């Protein structure tokens, strides 16, 4: 199930999830929130463009605990921790779906 679609012009995009309450980062490999996932590549997942609606669909991890998260999008063919943030959006996650998503992008 797609929870969110990013409409932007992106090259090699990936995203990360940062818990707002405790600044932990979702590890897509261990399926847990961690202070500093290692290797860095475990803290991100690539986005693929859907040409039918010209956007990047995001399905949030089924095991992601409920809470407020910053969804951080970066671009790089070879992701490293110093990649610049392309865009960020605060989301409210129930554990199964988005709840009243914040209606603004975070300022960079």
Quick check: 36 pLDDT over 90? yes
How many structural domains does the chain have? 1
Within-domain flag for 14:
yes
Within-domain flag for 10:
yes
Within-domain flag for 60:
yes
Whether pTM exceeds 0.85: yes
Within-domain flag for 101:
no
Q: What would the pLDDT profile of 53-108 be if each residue is shown by its tens digit?
A: 899 999 999 999 999 999 999 999 999 999 999 999 999 999 999 987 555 555 55
Residue 99 near residue 93, CB atoms below 8 Å = yes
- Which domain does 65 fall in, by range? 4-93
pLDDT at residue 107 in the model: 54
Closest to 85 (Cα-Cα) out of 57, 60, 106, 64: 106
Residue 97 near residue 36, CB atoms below 8 Å = no
pLDDT band at 1, cuts 50/70/90? confident
Within-domain flag for 86:
yes
């Amino acid at each position: 199930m797609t929870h969110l679609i990013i409409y932007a012009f992106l090259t090699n995009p990936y995203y990360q999830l940062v818990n707002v309450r405790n600044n932990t980062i979702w590890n897509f490999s261990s399926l847990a929130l961690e202070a500093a996932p290692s290797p860095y590549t475990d803290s991100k997942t690539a986005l693929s463009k859907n040409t039918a609606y010209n956007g990047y669909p995001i399905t949030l991890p089924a095991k992601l605990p409920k809470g407020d998260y910053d969804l951080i999008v970066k671009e790089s063919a070879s992701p490293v921790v110093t990649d610049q943030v392309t865009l960020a959006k605060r989301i409210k996650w129930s554990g199964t779906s988005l709840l009243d998503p914040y209606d603004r992008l975070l300022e960079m």
